[in-house]
Amino acid sequence: MSVLVGKPAPTFNASAVVNGQVVEDFSLDQFKGSKYVVLFFYPKDFTFVCPTELHAFQDSIAEFESRDVAVIGCSTDTEMSHWGWLQVPRNKGGIEGVSYPLVADTNKTIAADYDVLVGDYAIDEFGELIVEGELIAYRGLFLIDKEGIVQHQLVNNLPLGRSIKEALRMVDALQHFEENGEVCPMDWEKGSEGMNATHESTAAYLAKG
């Protein structure tokens, strides 16, 4: 598994569905210099755990937007599959109402670049593609700063849903560090005291506990 933290986020151009409309040339580049990005991968459209996550991001979209964060979902389904799932009501297992971009990684290249692609593939001596397992995405999540650098990544196996609260906490921690120059200790939450990154200040902080 590649660690992308501290490195430029792999860029891409792909089809996406944005607020119910198909966009042919969607790119991360549009956010560079202006917004943070939470890019999350999910395994498949029309499944069970995935809609709980997609709806949770939508339900918290105002929280992300208030922090200047663009939320972007991505799976290896086509843009038409995304669009079709958006037509299905929430109470019937669909994702109707999701407005943030859903990227179509149809060629699997985006998931491969972020190293969240499930399954193995190779070209044999006859030039034929050999695939083992389904080429879908793990539940990867990447927090990208305004300079396009990955600051946090999390990758869950397929059955394990993520925490929206933790994603927001990571955004808050990054912004606290950027604004105050203070690092954030374990279980830090917005409004809590940070730590100066010196031996003396850290020792004083720990002495309080």
Q: Active-site residues: which are they?
A: 50
Q: Are 15 and 49 in contact (CB under 8 A)?
A: no
Q: Give the sign of the dihedral formed by CA 66, CA 152, CA 6, CA 181.
A: positive
Q: What is the 3-state secondary structure (H, E, C) of the chain?
A: CCCCCCCECCCCEEEEEECCEEEEEEEHHHHCCCCEEEEEECCCCCCCHHHHHHHHHHHCHHHHHHCCEEEEEEECCCHHHHHHHHCCCHHHCCCCCCCCCEEECCCCHHHHHCCCECCEEEECCCCCEEEECCCCECEEEEEECCCCEEEEEEEECCCCCCCHHHHHHHHHHHHHHHHHCCECCCCCCCCCCCECCCHHHHHHHHHHC
Helix axes 164-180 and 49-59, enclosed angle (nearest 10)? 40
